[in-house]
Amino acid sequence: MPPMPSQVPFLDLHSQITPLRNELDAAIRRVVDSCGFILGPEVPAFEAEFARACEVEHAIGVDSGTSALVLILRGLDIGPGDEVILQPNTFIATAESISLVGAKPVFADVDLETQQIDPARVAAAITPRTRAVVAVHLFGRTAPLEALQRLARERGIHLIEDACQAHGARFARRPVGSVGIAAAWSFYPGKNLGAFGDAGAVTTRDAVLATAIRQLRDHGQIAKYDHVRIGTNARLDSLQAAVLRVKLPHLESWNAGRRRVAALYDAALRGSEFRLPAPLAAEEDHVYHLYVVRHPRRSAVVHALRDHGIGFGLHYPVPIHQSAAYAFLGLGPGSYPNAELLAEEILSLPMYPELTEAHIEQVCEVMTQAASLSG
């Protein structure tokens, strides 16, 4: 019997953290020595650095990407009676944030090739109650921002970016997070820019909205015990900000590494039975938070990867409208056929900047053999 191949993890944070260990330890020690754990000096320092990276005037650190979305909606006074349009093939937090402010999530189907929200379907979903559309930069690929921005202006609604998977991506040479009225970011550890726990941010060019979100994240305060609105506790803690400050200068090179890995996957799988990520248009970008392929007989490939100790993911196997949490919307099978087909076929392959060519070849060999046998 041939030896089992070495394990290929879906994500390897050790390979990212190890070279930075001394810097990270020093950053954490700096916070501990200062005892500035809540909104200490590391937080505004990171906010200023992240705002510059996104080419916006304001970045507000918060405790998660979900909170970032909720606070944007609250800052825009979106709530009960309002509708917000989004795609059904994204993480449930995008819809949850809309529900948490009392608004109604309204889904628009996606383009089958790009897997991004379809502006024509967004246009068809707009009603007099629509207040905003959320552009999710799914998997790290830029959403169709130009068409969505035009539509938002014509219909008098807000364009909000969910940039939780797209750190460092650009659309038409502009950083994502700088196009809509505001953008939500997650720094969950596995993101292209990840903290050592839950963390997030909001970016915006709008000074009034930025002020509102700064107040909302800290119990509605403008100064200690001076509460001007009903807020919440959604602050970015100083330890996470310090970690993110160490990592941020490396984001561009890490994204280049992800593009290298994606190109190797493209070359190895081209001509196979797998549907690869669609080619990018001139204005689009992709930072490959995830490398996602499609196959009509996915289960056979999944079993083979598991048997060979190769990590994988399914992003996302249940469209939001078919989840038990949103059954009350009454959206049965066939409501959004493209999103539903994608949910049956998508497969996320190991993806991190340090992934070796040998491991990529190993992953692709197992996949193609499994696909050929399953036919």
Kindly list the structural domains of the chain, giving each domain's residue range(s) and its CATH number in brackets, ordered by start: 15-108+115-249 (3.40.640.10), 251-374 (3.90.1150.10)
Residue 2 pLDDT: 46
- Measured CA distances, 199 to 30, 43, 53, 101, 187 (Å): 19, 11, 17, 20, 5
Q: Give the pLDDT confidence of 175-204 residue by residue, as tens digits.
A: 999 999 999 999 999 999 999 999 999 999
Residue 218 pLDDT: 98
Return the DSSP state at 296: T
Residue 375 in this model has a pLDDT that exceeds 80: no
Share of the chain above pLDDT 70, in %: 98
- Provide the mean pLDDT of the chain: 97
Q: Give the pLDDT confidence of 82-128 residue by residue, as tens digits.
A: 999 999 999 999 999 999 999 999 999 999 999 999 999 999 999 99
Distance CA 75, CA 69 (A): 10
Q: Give the pLDDT confidence of 320-333 residue by residue, as tens digits.
A: 999 999 999 999 99
For residue 301, which phi and psi values (nearest 5 degrees)?
A: -70, -40
Give Cβ neighbours of residue 373 (< 8 Å, ≥ 6 apart): 300
Helices within the chain (DSSP H only) = 13-17, 21-34, 42-54, 65-75, 93-100, 119-125, 145-155, 207-216, 238-247, 251-269, 298-307, 337-345, 357-374
Please give the model's pTM, rounded to 2 decimal places: 0.97
Check residue 156 and give left, alpha or beta (phi > 0: left; psi -120 to 50: alpha): left
Six-digit token string for 194:
């990840």
